[in-house]
Chains A and B, each alone.
Chain A
Amino acid sequence: MAATARRSADPRHVARAVLRATVRILGISCFYHDAAACLYGDEGPVAAAEEERFTRKKHDSSFPARSIDWVLQHAGITAHDLDHVVFYEKPVLKFGRILEMTVDAYPEGVGHFTPAMQSWLREKLWIADRIRKIGWAGEVLYGQHHLSHAASAYYPSSFDEAAVVTLDGVGERATSTIGRGNGLELELLEEIDFPHSLGLLYSVFTAFLGFEVNEGEYKLMGLAAYGRPRYADQVRRLVLVADDRSYRLDLRYFAFSRRPAAWSALFEDAFGRPFPPGSLEGEIDQRAADIAASIQEVTEEAILAVATRARDLTGSRRLCFGGGVAQNVLANGRILRERLFDQMYVPSAPGDSGGALGAAAYVTHAVLRLPRSRAPHAYLGPAYTSDDVRRAVAESGLPSREVDRPQLVREAARMIAGGRIVGWFQGRMEFGPRALGARSILADARDPAMKEKVNARIKYRERFRPFAPSVVRDDVDRYFEDLPMSPFMSFAARARPEVRDVIPAVIHADGTSRIQTVGPDDQPVYYELLQELGRLTGHRVVLNTSFNLRGEPIVATPADALECFVRTSLDALFLENLIVEPRPMEVAERKGERATTVRTIAVS
């Protein structure tokens, strides 16, 4: 494993091209969660990747040295060739906010203070020095956390003008912002500051239900489908929406930075005893499901209030939505359903990793006044040549066949339609948390038992978590209501009643799905696969889940994919132009350890 991880992190295993842009800007985000680097040129983002994909540590927050190495090598340049390097937030401002929090919590927060200060004084405050170690001798620019989110949401969109909303845990101080994008201009107009944060509110409930913060929010969302919002009134006492559509938290219910758990005794009076870490992995607990449904309901109400404020303030009928809360696909779907806006865009990486892209985009367009490219796609990570793939397969000793593209597509479609579960590794890796047909596990959406099969053989996820479909863009109306386009799986939409028995494996308990729409220009070979599936089954739909093992990042390299393949019960791996099959009599090694649950809400 360690040897493979080292091999997979080797930045030499990349497809190279020389970037012929007149401007080259490196964006960096790190030190909270999901560190990333993005190289931005005249034509928009050239390369971007999360550090976790190289280090194989999920949500790795450390300085993204390997991602930086990779984006520079991908472009065929060194740090000396860069024009600007921009960090995605202002560290000194954030440090000031943390000191204020400590003062507020004194003396209770002292236990958190010492390690936090060590990390700040050792590393975080001196980010410029760390950046210079990559070979950059120029000045380091500092974006703003929420402006970076806003830029990552606005500039890649196809909108000439838009309202821009960002909702996140906390940046320097802001937790929520409303801005306006117009051509090359982007301005933040209003903000709500810490400790009033929808992101932190949701994370407190995530931890209360025993899920890991910054990872278990999806689980809470999935669990909500099984509950009734019977605690919604209690949650509304925690988060108060004002007439001006701002919101504030009632701080008596929270203990940010005071206690290991971020909720107070009053919170427990309202919602009962907290759930021990990992306790909800088996059967569905009705109290937990009802609490999940309640926080989801109230979060959606608050998000709608902020979105309405943004519409009224900017007068725009288009919305760009960024920040970690923009990963709440149910809330995004509700904004669409409520028709607050005519069009809406959520980037592929709305969270902190996308801050690297946003910071670089802001410098490129707002400061240097270079035109926007407006061709958003998520395939900004590494790709591998046929030689790379052949070498990796030879090292693995697994049997494989080399085929041309039409045959690859035909065989994959035939296997999926026949009930097999396959690994799909094609082209450049996705930037962002979702697998979008480049590093995916695929299966037949029509099989009612497929969800259980994928869980039992490969993913080992909680049974209340749904699997998502990829659907050809032109067919989306046939299956789902109120969903114009969702190339990055950013929206949940209701399945039409008549198709709920047609593609049951990808429809959740509440009748919704988190959908990826696929067009011919998004990921051509993936689109061809869906076309072929349509010819075989009559449905251009496939179950698409991320190509990883539980608790691990999505695979990045052929070696990662092969390792995941041998450790699971995948029936075949479509690795670029090779079809890899299991060794005869091979017994897959199952991985069943439980993830450690983090119950502290980190706000530093």
Chain B
Amino acid sequence: MLRSVRAEMGAYIERVGELQSGILLSVMYLVVVAPVWLALRLMGRRLLEQQSGWRRPRDGRPTLDTLREPY
């Protein structure tokens, strides 16, 4: 009897543990992963979307000094 109660309790605790892990993972996803993902998407999209139309080149007539730079 005691053994069966223990087994049932154990299974219950395991289920709760799984549930808690699941909840923890979901919370982690919502709090950490999703915002980072969204921020990256928005930032990237903003960077790309902003780049339409004519704009002045950052260095339209390079000199020997600026040609030395790989960036």
Contacts and interface: CB of A to CB of B under 8 A. Distances in A.
Interface string A363-376: 10011000000000
B48 A100 contact: yes
A103 B60 CA distance: 28
A142 B69 contact: yes
B34 to A, nearest CB: 12
Contacts of A446: none
Interface stretch (B3-11, B18-26, B36-44): B36-44
Contacts of A192: 52-55
Interface string B48-64: 11011111110111111
A561 B59 CA distance: 45
A421 interface: no
Contact of A91 (B44, B49, B70): B70
A190 B48 contact: no
B53 A195 contact: no
Contacts of A102: 44
A297 B55 CA distance: 26
Nearest to A185: B61
A106 B37 contact: yes
Interface in A189-221: 189-196
A193 B67 contact: no
A178 B59 CA distance: 13
Contact of B53 (A127, A139, A141, A248): A248
Given A90-B70, A244-B53, A195 B61 contact: no
Contacts of B69: 90, 142
A143 B67 contact: yes
Contact of B59 (A96, A103, A144): A144
Given A100-B48, A103-B44, A173-B51, A189 B56 contact: yes
A196 B52 contact: yes
Given A142-B70, A144-B62, A193 B44 contact: no
B61 A196 contact: no
B63 to A, nearest CB: 7
B54 A244 contact: yes
Given A90-B69, A106-B40, A190 B55 contact: yes
A67 interface: no
A173 B47 CA distance: 12
B54 A105 contact: no
Contacts of A106: 37, 40-41, 44
B70 A187 contact: no
Interface residues of A, number: 49
A121 interface: no
Contacts of A103: 40-41, 43-44, 47
A71 to B, nearest CB: 20
B62 A107 contact: no
B62 A93 contact: no
A188 interface: yes
A87 B25 CA distance: 49
A190 B67 CA distance: 19
Contacts of B59: 144
A179 interface: yes
B52 A139 contact: no
With a 10 A CB-CB cut-off, give which of A142, A178, A362 has the most chain B CB atoms: A142
B28 to A, nearest CB: 16
A264 to B, nearest CB: 14
A362 B70 CA distance: 16
B68 A104 contact: no
Interface in A105-146: 105-107, 127-128, 139, 141-144
With a 10 A CB-CB cut-off, give which of B40, B54, B62, B64 has the most chain A CB atoms: B54
Given A103-B43, A179-B60, A185-B61, A194 B67 contact: no
B44 to A, nearest CB: 3
Contact of B67 (A86, A107, A246): A86
A40 to B, nearest CB: 14
Nearest to B43: A103
Nearest to B52: A248
B51 A196 contact: yes
Contact of B54 (A104, A147, A191): A191
Nearest to B44: A104
With a 10 A CB-CB cut-off, give which of B52, B55, B56 has the most chain A CB atoms: B52
A248 B67 CA distance: 30
Nearest to B67: A141
Interface string A230-256: 000000000000101010100100000
A422 B68 CA distance: 49
With a 10 A CB-CB cut-off, give which of B59, B60, B62, B67 has the most chain A CB atoms: B67
Contacts of A325: none
7 contacts: A92-B71, A103-B40, A141-B68, A144-B62, A147-B62, A193-B55, A194-B51
Given A100-B47, A101-B48, A196-B52, 6 more contacts: A92-B71, A104-B48, A105-B44, A141-B68, A142-B67, A246-B52
Interface of B: 37, 40-41, 43-45, 47-49, 51-57, 59-64, 67-71
Q: When A and B form their complex, which 7 residue pairs have the shortest distance between CB atoms, in order from nearest?
A: A104-B44, A92-B71, A103-B44, A193-B51, A188-B60, A248-B52, A141-B67
Interface of A: 86, 90-93, 96, 100-107, 127-128, 139, 141-144, 147, 173-174, 177-179, 185-196, 242, 244, 246, 248, 251, 309, 362-363, 366-367
